[in-house]
Amino acid sequence: MVFTPRDDDALVVVDVQNDFCPGGSLPVAEGDRVVPVVNRLAPRFATLVTTQDSHPGDHSSFAEQGGPWPVHCVEGTPGWELHPDLRVTPDFEVRKGRDRELDGYTGWTSELAQFLRERGVRRVVIVGLALDYCVRATALDARAAGWETIVLTDATRPVEVEPGDGKRALDALRAAGVREDVAEPAAV
């Protein structure tokens, strides 16, 4: 079955940024393949949210600062920008990871929740990059805050630092009550 949006849904597009796509500093395999799916999906939603990793140059998660990740999504750089083929006009933008000491995986904030309540949103539909980090964290936080939450699995990809991370992320989402669906029918 293919997902059908409701009038009270919001689409949350997580971190579809240049650094997370092929050629970026922290590429997700086939990360750019979510772009056309999101572009076809976005016009079907009355409320659209984007999130962006927006790190300072000395973020604690960067390897040069002792963290696990290469330098990525430094605010204002080309790698920080949304993928150039992504065609979305957000009603609300979340910039995360600005605090040097916090990982900033989740795009769920109290400000976002308040905005969604004011718009009459009852269900959040999450897509983007990467399934096993920022998509997972955003979906788990939305669900923990009491929101009906869906992840569209054909509009996300895992970074897979360790083999199986994507599957483990989906298992954790299911266990928390997050529903999975697909945006489009499978190619024949």
Catalytic residues: 15, 96, 134
Cα gap 45→65, rounded to integer Å? 40
What tokens does 59 get? 């973020």
The alpha carbons of the chain give a radius of gyration, in whole angstroms, of 15
Burial pattern 160-177, b for ≥16 Cβ within 10 A else e, equals beeeebbeebbeebeeee
What value, to the nearest 5°, has the Cα angle with vertex 71 and ends 79 and 16? 35
d(Cα 5, Cα 150) in Å, to the nearest integer?
A: 11
Cβ partners under 8 Å of residue 53, min gap 6:
15, 17, 19, 20, 72, 73, 80, 96, 97, 104, 134
Residue with tokens 């970074």: 159
Phi-psi region of 82 (alpha: psi -120 to 50; beta: other; left: phi over 0): beta
